[in-house]
């Protein structure tokens, strides 16, 4: 048996409700927001807040949003993630390529159990999050290690992260940006990243960090804000001459979050005379509620309502052919 034949690749994504029904959405929200890596509060207070207040009030409104983007095949996030898995499997055979979700199904515990029926000697883990945060990559790896502790044999582990540091990421997304900019002819590019509480950013940077700055840093910097601004600069180079802005979406009320806020930037651009806005969401590898509904519906309505004439959202990488082929090469090169 060759080294490749005894290697498994595990793709990690965040997860999705089983269906857009309020009950399934409530179950997903309770699991997601009940995670200490997502909501950094003492266990009892976190459970009371999530199950007693947040989930009862958000389940029905979130379910309505999920219904707007749900497809006949199911959840877009799950469908696109599965297509990516199949694409990588075709490039990486005889390695086994599997997909697991931090919340919901297919769960990390179940997928790992299946893999360990014929234990790989090496496990290559690919968190599908372009930029490191404890609420995405951090919690996914923590759950993986918790599940692996159940087994007597521990494969050699290699983690591919952050994705934004891989040539495949910038090459593939940059090419998509270029194509869409040529066909749409925008006046401005908005790069909308997922927001984080500033407390998460500061904790990852280390003791003494209380900054939300844009100072130079390497692509593997622990600072989430640094990683996002570096990604913006790299992607904007593919549409040279087009003005661009970096902003953050999906914030929760009650604490300080990364800023400026994407919805406010989009409406401000419209009021300043921007008529055609191109938006990309580099924090997401696969299209999901945040890209299809929050940006594709809510942000578009706000931009048009503030005086804009047209807004185009660049799809996520999903299983785009160049992305699948270049990512498979980067995975092999890093082994």
Summarize pLDDT for 167-178 with one digit per residue, the tens. Answer: 999 999 999 999
Summarize pLDDT for 203-261 with one digit per residue, the tens. Answer: 887 644 545 454 455 555 678 998 999 999 999 999 999 999 999 998 877 678 999 99
CB burial readout 216-246, b (16+ within 10 A) else e: ebebebbbbbbbbbbbbebbbebbeebebbb
- Taking alpha carbons only, the member of 42, 57, 28 closest to residue 253 is 57
pLDDT value of residue 261: 96
pTM for the model: 0.93
Check whether 126 has a pLDDT greater than 80.
yes
Between 125 and 211, name the one with better pLDDT. Answer: 125
pLDDT value of residue 286: 98
- Are 73 and 114 in contact, with CB atoms under 8 Å apart? no
pLDDT value of residue 212: 46
First CA to last CA distance, the chain = 17
Check whether 90 has a pLDDT greater than 90.
yes
- pLDDT confidence tier of residue 146, bands split at 50, 70 and 90: very high
**Range among 49-53, 214-218, 317-321 rated most confident:** 317-321
Which domains does the chain show, CATH number per domain?
7-164+321-333 (3.40.50.1400), 170-313 (3.40.50.1400)
């Amino acid at each position: 048996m060759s080294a490749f034949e005894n290697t498994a690749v595990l793709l990690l994504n965040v997860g999705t409700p089983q269906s857009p029904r309020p009950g399934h959405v409530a179950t997903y929200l309770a699991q997601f927001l009940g995670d200490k890596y997502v909501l950094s509060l003492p266990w009892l207070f976190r459970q009371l807040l999530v199950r007693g207040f947040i989930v009862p009030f958000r389940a029905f409104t979130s379910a309505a949003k999920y219904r707007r983007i749900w497809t006949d095949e199911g959840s877009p996030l799950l469908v696109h993630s599965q297509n990516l898995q199949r694409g990588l499997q075709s490039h990486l055979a005889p390695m086994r390529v599997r997909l697991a979700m931090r919340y919901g199904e297919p769960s990390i515990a179940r997928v790992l159990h299946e893999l360990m029926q014929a234990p790989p000697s090496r496990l290559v883990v690919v968190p599908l999050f372009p930029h490191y945060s404890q609420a995405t990559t951090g919690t996914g790896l923590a759950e993986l290690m918790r599940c692996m502790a159940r087994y007597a044999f521990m494969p050699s582990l290699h983690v591919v992260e952050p994705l934004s540091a891989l040539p495949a990421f910038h090459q593939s997304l940059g090419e998509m940006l270029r194509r869409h900019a040529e066909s749409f002819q925008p006046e401005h590019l908005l790069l909308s990243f997922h927001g984080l509480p500033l407390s998460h950013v500061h904790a990852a940077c280390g003791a003494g960090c209380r900054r939300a700055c844009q100072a130079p840093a390497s692509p593997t910097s622990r600072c989430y804000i640094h990683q996002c601004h570096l990604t913006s600069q790299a992607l904007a180079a593919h549409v040279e001459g087009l003005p661009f802005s970096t902003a953050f979406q999906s914030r929760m009320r009650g604490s300080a979050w990364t800023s400026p806020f994407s919805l406010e930037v989009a409406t401000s651009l419209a009021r300043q005379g921007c008529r055609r806005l191109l938006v990309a969401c580099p924090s997401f590898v696969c299209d999901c509620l945040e890209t299809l509904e929050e940006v594709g519906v809510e942000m578009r309505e706000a931009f048009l309502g503030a005086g804009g004439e047209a807004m185009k959202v660049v799809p996520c990488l999903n299983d785009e052919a160049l992305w699948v082929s270049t990512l498979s090469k980067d995975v092999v090169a890093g082994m």
